[in-house]
Amino acid sequence: MARNLTTQWNEFFHAREVPYGMALVRIVLPLVLLIGAIPRWWYARELYSTDGSPAPLWVSYGADALVPDLTAPVAVAACSVLILSLFAVCIGWMTRGSLVVSMVFYAGLGVIDSMSTLTKYTVIASHVLMLLALSECGAVWSVDSWLRRRGQTSQERLAGPPISPVWPRRLLQLFIGIVYLGAAFTKMHTPAYFSGDQLTFWMLGDVNFENRFGEMLTLYPSLLAIMAYITIVWEILFVFLVWSKFWRLPTLFIGLVFHFLTYFTLGLIIFPLVYFAIYLAFIDQQEAERMSMAVRLTLRRLGLTHKRKRPATASSLVWARPAYTAVAWGMLMATVAVIGVEVEHHRDVYQERGPNGPLPLKAMDTQVAQAMLGPAQPIRPQDRYFAFDIGSSTLGGVLSDRRETFNHGERALIQCTLQPPHPDMWVEVNLHDADDVLLKRVGTVVPREDLRADFFYDLDQSMLPGKYDFVLKYDGEELTRRSITLSGPSPELTALR
C-alpha cells in the first residue's frame, strides 16, 4: 500500500518531461502583467514612494510594515527593473534570476499600493512567478536555451531538449484548482450568491470596464441563479476532474469560457488574461510537440520558414558564456534602473519645477461642496426598491419569466426586490383597474434581512378582461406600477354559453 502510494506520488510529481507547458506560461504571463505594470511606471512616485500617497496593505491589517518605505528614486528604479525583468522572463533571458526579481518586485510593489495595484490577480501572478522560478521553464524556447545550444557539441545537440521533473507544473495545476476551491468557499459564505443577487449587483457595478452584456443579463435573474450553481459546482470539481482523461478537456473548456465571460459580464480584462496564460500549464509535452509540429507545417506551407543555420560553436561566442551573460544582465538591469530614475525625474510628475509650478489646487464649486458636506439626506422611497416584476413562475427563488399578459384562471406572481440595506418595511402590492380604482390590497412586512417580498393574485372569473395595474406602495407612497392585460372571455359571455 505504502509502496503503491510512493510510486503514484513519484509518477505524479517526479516524472520527467521537456517543460513546454511551463515555458508557454513563462512566455505569455509576463506580457499580460506588463499591461498593468507599464502604465503604473508613470505614477511610480505617487503610488509607491514616500513622496506620494502609498496605500500599504499592512495598514488595513493593523500590522507592522512588510516592506520598508521607498524613496521616489528607489520606487521608480524598482518599477523600471520590474518591467525589464518581466520582458526578460518572456524571452527567457537569465530566466530564473529574472523570475525571482519579477516576483519580488511585483509582489513588493503590490503590497505598498493596496488601493490600485494589489488585486487577487496580482497575488495569483506572484504565486505563478514563484513556481516558474522553481521550474526549468527557461530550458526551451528561450534565449538561455539558444545560448546554451551554442555552447554544445553536435553530439550533445542530438540528445534533444533537456528534460526536468514535472513537479513545478503539477504545483501550478494544483494551485489553480485550490484557488477555485477557495473561491467556491467564498460563494458558500454569501447566501445572496445562490439567488443571483450578488452577481446581479456586481454586473451592475461600474468599478471595472464596460460590461454591457452583464448589465443585460441582470434582466434575467433566474439565469444568473442557474449560472451561480453551475459555477460553484465546477469550481469545486475542477481540482478533482482535471486529471481525468475524460473530464480534462470539458473542465478546461468550461474554465476558459468562464474566464472569457468575465470580460463581458464583469468588465475584467487582466484577470481573465492571467488565467488564459496559466491554463497553458495544462499542456503536456506530447500536446506541445504536436502543436509545435502543426505550427511549423503551417508556416512551411505559407513559405514563412527558412532553413536553419548551424549554430556557431562555443569558441566563436565568448560573450555567450553564462558568466558574461549574467554580468550583461545585471548591468542592463542597473542601467535601466538609472535611466528610469533620470527620465522620471525630468518628467516632473507633480509639475513643481515648470514655469507654472507648483500647480495650484483645483477649486470646487461651492454649491457642490456644500451638498457633499451638508446634512445627510434620507433615502428616497423609490430608492428603497430594486425591482418590481410580474410573472408566473420562479426558479432559484426569483421570477423566471416576466409577463404582461395573463389569461383567466392564471396566478400572477409579483416579486418586489428591495435595495439593501433597508429597514423593516411594510410593503403593499395593490391591484387597480384601468380607471385606477383600487380593487384589492395586499401587504406584508419585509424584515431588514430579507431581500425580496413575494405576492400573488389569482386572476379568476371575478375580473373582467382588460388592463390592470399592480401598484407597489411603501410608507403610503406609490413607488412604481406594472400593467398587465387580462385576456379571455368576459364573465357575461361565459354565462351565455
Partner 1 sequence: MKRWISNTLIVGYLSVLMYGVFCHALYYKVTQHPGMYFIVWDMFCGWSAYETRTHVVGEGASGQFYELSPGPWGTIKPHSDLDRRHYDYSGLHSINLAMNTLRQTEHEPMARLYVVEEAWPRKYNLPDELWAHRYTEPKDLQSYYHIRGTYAPDGQPLQQRPSLLTRLSQESLMDNPRLRHDMKKGKPFYAVDPSASRGGVIPVGYELPTDH
Query: In the complex with partner 1, which residue's Cβ is closer, 150 or 481?
Result: 481
Query: In the complex with partner 1, which residue's Cβ is closer, 298 or 480?
Result: 480
User: How many CB atoms lie under 10 A from the CB of residue 175?
Assistant: 18
According to the binding rule CB under 8 A, does residue 324 interact with partner 1?
no
Query: Helices 95-112 and 72-91, interaxial angle, to 10°?
Result: 140
**Exposed (0-12), middle (13-18) or buried (19+): which is 317, by Cβ within 10 Å?**
middle
According to the binding rule CB under 8 A, does residue 291 interact with partner 1?
no
Cis amide bond preceding 421, omega within 30: yes
- Subset of 181-210 contacting partner 1 (CB under 8 A): 181-183, 185-186, 188-190, 192, 197-198, 201-202, 204-209
- φ and ψ of 457, to 5 deg: -130, 130
- Shortest distance, position 185 Cβ to partner 1, whole Å: 4
Query: In the complex with partner 1, which residue's Cβ is closer, 186 or 313?
Result: 186
By the 8 A CB rule, do 484 and 405 touch? yes
Query: In the complex with partner 1, which residue's Cβ is closer, 60 or 244?
Result: 60
Which ranges of 221-321 does DSSP label H, i.e. alpha helix? 221-241, 248-266, 270-279, 285-301
User: How many CB atoms lie under 10 A from the CB of residue 98?
Assistant: 29
> By C-alpha distance, which of 82, 95, 86, 94 is closest to 274?
86
By the 8 A CB rule, do 99 and 133 touch? yes
According to the binding rule CB under 8 A, does residue 171 interact with partner 1?
yes
According to the binding rule CB under 8 A, does residue 55 interact with partner 1?
yes
Size of the site for partner 1 (CB under 8 A): 104
- Shortest distance, position 301 Cβ to partner 1, whole Å: 42
- What x/- string results for residues 252 through 271 when contact with partner 1 is judged by CB under 8 A? ---------------x----
- Shortest distance, position 311 Cβ to partner 1, whole Å: 28
By the 8 A CB rule, do 43 and 349 touch? yes
According to the binding rule CB under 8 A, does residue 127 interact with partner 1?
yes
- Subset of 369-398 contacting partner 1 (CB under 8 A): 369, 371-374, 376-377, 379-380, 382-383, 386-387, 389
According to the binding rule CB under 8 A, does residue 216 interact with partner 1?
yes
By the 8 A CB rule, do 107 and 57 touch? no
- Subset of 461-490 contacting partner 1 (CB under 8 A): 480-483
Query: In the complex with partner 1, which residue's Cβ is closer, 210 or 460?
Result: 210
One residue of 169, 422, 452, 473 binding partner 1 per CB under 8 A: 422
C-alpha cell recorded at residue 343? 527620465
- Subset of 133-152 contacting partner 1 (CB under 8 A): 134
According to the binding rule CB under 8 A, does residue 330 interact with partner 1?
no
- What x/- string results for residues 292 through 321 when contact with partner 1 is judged by CB under 8 A? ------------------------------
> By C-alpha distance, which of 442, 438, 434, 429 is closest to 468?
434
By the 8 A CB rule, do 149 and 138 touch? no
By the 8 A CB rule, do 96 and 77 touch? no
By the 8 A CB rule, do 225 and 396 touch? yes
Query: In the complex with partner 1, which residue's Cβ is closer, 76 or 179?
Result: 179
According to the binding rule CB under 8 A, does residue 225 interact with partner 1?
no
According to the binding rule CB under 8 A, does residue 43 interact with partner 1?
yes
- Shortest distance, position 341 Cβ to partner 1, whole Å: 18
- Subset of 84-113 contacting partner 1 (CB under 8 A): 107, 111
